Amino acid sequence: MSEARKIFPMDTFVAYLKGDGSANVAEMLGYLTQKDLDADSVPFAAALAKAWIYEQHPELTKMSKGQVVELGQSVSVAPMPVKAKTEVDEVFAKLADYKGQINAKAAKIDELTKALAAKDAEIAALTAKVKEFEGQKKGEAEALFVTTEARIVEFTGKLEALLKEVDEVKKTGVVVAGVAGVAAAAGAAPAAGAPAEVAAGTDFGFSGGSQDPFADSNW
């Protein structure tokens, strides 16, 4: 059971009403609302308790800080009555619910963040593998290109050498002369089985040249 009343320094009470910071303000608010307050709930408790105090003592709203201090060295504070306390409980219940939802969402966000980080790591690993694969394929392609280029250069050199040989053959006339000689030999050759003299158009020593010696009626 809570105390009926509790004494607080007037400086604490004035700091609370006039908005000045004080370490004892949270303690006084906890006593007024009968709540265990944390940093998140102190502002709500302060607003609720201040509204109740001003409702009970409206003259305080018109007094300056100095005038309140002159009221005495301390102030006797009683917990908020049941009706006001019920309203405070409802507000704090909603705050607790909101805080639970926020914590649940924060946990979900943390879970998703970790999952995203894991996916990012997986993507980074896959990207590294793809780059490695591309590097290997690029190296193989470059090697193939170099080999192909070398073969082309080799074949080009051989072709150029062959063309030079053909040009040399054309210049020296070896092929042309050989063909002409063969053609001449073929044109001058006698018919197969015929004597050379017949092939040359001789008349076997008979007169008349190309006339037939056996065509005479005396034969």
Domain boundaries, the chain: 1-80, 81-179
Position 198 scores a pLDDT of 46
Position 85 scores a pLDDT of 86
Mean pLDDT (whole number) for 135-147? 77
Position 216 scores a pLDDT of 57
Return the closest-CA partner of residue 101 out of 112, 109, 89.
Answer: 109
Position 9 scores a pLDDT of 87
Mean pLDDT (whole number) for 137-161? 80
The pTM assigned to this predicted structure is: 0.47
Position 202 scores a pLDDT of 46
Position 219 scores a pLDDT of 46
Could you read off the pLDDT of 70-105 as tens digits, one per residue? 888 888 888 888 888 888 899 899 988 998 999 999
Which pair of structure tokens corresponds to residue 168?
Answer: 């040399």
Share of the chain above pLDDT 70, in %: 75
CA distances for 25 relative to 7, 20, 124, angstroms: 13, 9, 53
Cα gap 52→95, rounded to integer Å: 19
Coil, strand or helix at 76: strand
Residue 101: burial class (beta carbons within 10 Å; 0-12, 13-18, 19+): exposed
User: Cβ(41)–Cβ(91) under 8 Å?
Assistant: no
pLDDT above 60: residue 17: yes
Which pair of structure tokens corresponds to residue 19?
Answer: 């908005």
